[in-house]
Amino acid sequence: MTAEKIDGVALTNMILAGAHHLTNNAKKIDALNVFPVPDGDTGTNMNLSMTSGANEVKKLKSEHAADVANAFSKGLLMGARGNSGVILSQIFRGFAKGMDNKETVTVKDLAACFDSGVKTAYKAVMKPVEGTILTVAKDAAKEAIKLAETENNLIVLMEKVLAEAKASLKRTPDLLPVLKEVGVVDSGGQGLVTIYEGFLAALKGEELPESSLELEMEEMVNAEHHRVTQDFMNTSDIVFGYCTEFMVKFESDKLAENPYDEEAFRQELSEIGDSLLVVSDDEIVKVHVHSETPGTCLSLGQRYGSLINMKIENMREQHIALVGESEKAVSKELEEYAIVTVAMGKGLKALFESLGASVVIEGGQTMNPSTKDITDAINKANARNVIILPNNKNIRMAADQAAELAEVDAVVVPTTTIPQGITAMLAFHPEADILANKEAMDEARRQVKTGQVTYAVRDTQIEGIPIKNGNFMGIEDGKIKATHQDKAETTKLLLQEMISEDSEILTILYGEDVDKKEIDTLVAYIEDAYEDLEIEVHHGDQPIYSYIFSVE
Amino acid sequence: MSIEINTKDGQVTITNDVIATIAGGTAVECYGIVGMASKSQIRDGIAEILRKENYSRGIIVRQEDDKLHIDMYIIVSYGTKISEVASNVQSQVKYTLNKSLGLNIDSVNIYIQGVRVAKD
């Protein structure tokens, strides 16, 4: 093997070293696992997948690089376990494809393999989550491609790839909030870094020490804590109340009496606590455990040597403090979305607010708000995107102007009635962008039939229908459909016009001039006359209009 | 149909649509899934990948004597180990529904409705 080219034998060595290194570190990777499901098996799964790939390579014993890569890919696919295992199998499936049946591999080829691996891996997912093994593989591959233009030495390439993978791994908490919260790096990403470490060591012809992974005890402890806190919500649900951490410095005379056995020690501790971590080398053992009897844990440790760096915390008290804090937190941040709308009457205002309107401007048929009123409302809403619902055709112009003047993104959904406004609000989707929302809300408001009952203030004639001062009028979407001297009769005539066989829901907003008895009588009538109709009644408290109906 | 949870302060009703949407959203984030498929492909067109708002057409939530079962119809990526992808979806859906709704799902049944071969 030279530093410029590797053959199947060298590639086999790399894969075996990667697999071996991963086996040695699987447990630590398990401890990091909080995403996507904190079940602590990422390391185990990756290890099983990797071992299956390595076994195929071992069986093959070929000097042909592409053959080795293909065998590795096949083994990984067959042995893929868990999410991380499947991703790993895809990365190396692409890697093998990138090898393009070459017998030996140069720097350029290897870089192309890494790149091809990333491309294949990304293809197999609908919504790639960044901050995972995918991101680590991608960043490392990018570095490889860049370097391959000028570099011929494979060891240098692998060193750079590993360095970038490590750097990318360090960035994963910035991309994935759950990692940041727990204070760990992504477990799958860590697994890939471990494999790359193995690759590099094999290229250099070095032996990797067992458990050389630079993984802080602190990270593992954080992960353990998080897994525990996820499982309960109430302080009283905490079973083991004291978080206990300590180190034992081995002393030879004590060890002579009590030989140290990590498995046995772990077993003993697991009987009196959980969230257990025991990590040891020749000189020291570090322990993290949640227990009701921290003293007992310390005593168990003391059998092997002297205690150093002890820390015991009462988690119940911490939890109480934490819960209190989160309740106090109030956000004054800029909102993503606000809806500004116009309505008259306390009831309607409350109705719009309950649907999520940020600002309801007082106004309507006889009192149109000005452009300035709407502009002020937009500013008051304090949001990046503002949707304006004028709910009246006379206010539409002012709303359009205000939207143009606004410093933030503002759009008008041209609702002309209160029911249209309400229906438009129901179509609002906070996750969609503003134009999609505008479209959906506009579409929704067109589906509504609006009816209004009001009275005439003078004698007049509209569309051939004579109307006397004081008579009631039933208006459907701007057209007078009924008129009568009796309010109840007008209402019935209007409803007859509006309700068809396809109608499902009738919403009634009754005005300030309607009393409880009157609305009850009306509802009883409708229930009787239209049996299949679902009726919703709200006290709109609006002036001028006795009733506002919407039929859907 | 909906799920009702009784608490000391009153009742919480969660419609199946909510469960389907959460389950679908979780599933498409799983590695190896390229989409949710309709449960009746003949009627809705062959191997149509459902948009977010239609997830409920590919997810059925069933309640049988206090036990919750979810059937999910999915399309996976070619070249992945399908059994593993499916089991990842199962565990992730169970986990997410438990965390966000406090529901314990008894079974998540996965129906692979298609395999998407990615273009090179």
pLDDT bucket at B46, cuts 50 / 70 / 90: very low
For residue B1, what is the DSSP state?
A: -
Per-residue pLDDT at A407: 82
pLDDT digits (tens, 9 = 90+) for A261-277: 888 888 888 888 887 77
Determine the Cα–Cα distance for residues A148 and A167; give it in Å rounded to an integer. 19
pLDDT digits (tens, 9 = 90+) for A358-370: 888 887 766 778 8
**Hey, what are A205's tokens?**
């012809």
Contacts of B28 in chain A (CB under 8 A): 126-127
3-state secondary structure of A389: strand
For residue A334, what is the DSSP state?
A: P
pTM: predicted TM-score of the whole model, two decimal places: 0.55
Number of structural domains, chain A?
Answer: 4
Same domain membership, residue A476 and residue A435: no
Same domain membership, residue A507 and residue A403: no
For A130, nearest residue in chain B (alpha carbons): B29
Same domain membership, residue A470 and residue A403: no
For residue A235, what is the DSSP state?
A: G
pLDDT digits (tens, 9 = 90+) for A525-537: 888 888 888 888 8
**Residues 6 or more apart in contact with residue A257 via CB below 8 angstroms:** A303
Per-residue pLDDT at A234: 63
Which ranges of A343-457 would DSSP assign to H, the alpha helix? 346-354, 371-381, 396-405, 418-426, 434-446
CB contact under 8 A, B33 and A126: yes
- Average pLDDT estimate for A318-347: 69
Residue A215 lies in a domain: no
CB contact under 8 A, A90 and B34: no
- Average pLDDT estimate for A34-57: 87
Final residue before a domain boundary, out of A445, A466, A486: A445
pLDDT digits (tens, 9 = 90+) for B61-94: 888 877 889 999 998 988 888 999 999 999 999 9
Number of structural domains, chain B?
Answer: 1
Per-residue pLDDT at A526: 86
Q: Which of A39-53, A103-117, A218-232, A526-540 is most confident?
A: A103-117
**Residue A296 dihedral angles phi and psi, to the nearest 5°:** -60, -40
Same domain membership, residue A44 and residue A147: yes
Contacts of A123 in chain B (CB under 8 A): 77, 118
Same domain membership, residue A459 and residue A434: no
Q: Does A131 touch chain B (CB under 8 A)?
A: no
Picking from B32, B85, B92, the nearest residue to A36 by CB comes out as B92
Expressed as residue numbers, the domain containing B100 is 2-116
ipTM of this complex > 0.85? no
CB contact under 8 A, B28 and A86: no
Final residue before a domain boundary, out of A445, A473, A508: A445
**Hey, what are A104's tokens?**
């030996």
CATH of the domain at B59: 3.30.70.1350
Q: Does A125 touch chain B (CB under 8 A)?
A: yes
Residue A502 lies in a domain: yes
Same domain membership, residue A401 and residue A508: no
Asked whether the beta carbons of B21 and B55 are under 8 A apart, the reply is yes
Final residue before a domain boundary, out of A421, A445, A469: A445
Same domain membership, residue A440 and residue A520: no
With 80 as the cut, is the pLDDT of residue A222 above it?
A: no
Expressed as residue numbers, the domain containing A508 is 450-551
**Residue A447 dihedral angles phi and psi, to the nearest 5°:** -80, -10
Place of tokens 């000189």: A283
Per-residue pLDDT at A326: 47
Determine the Cα–Cα distance for residues A298 and A293; give it in Å rounded to an integer. 9
List own/partner pairs for A276-281 with CB under 8 A and 24 or more apart.
A276/A224, A277/A31, A277/A217, A277/A220, A277/A221, A277/A224, A279/A217, A279/A220
Residue A499 lies in a domain: yes
**Which of B8, B31, B52 to mutate to test binding with chain A, by most A CBs within 10 Å of its CB?**
B31
CB contact under 8 A, A36 and B99: no
**DSSP structure string for A149-178:** TT---HHHHHHHHHHHHHHHHHHHHHH-HH
Distances (CA, A) of A1 to A13, A101, A373: 11, 19, 79
pLDDT bucket at B47, cuts 50 / 70 / 90: very low
Q: Does A141 touch chain B (CB under 8 A)?
A: no
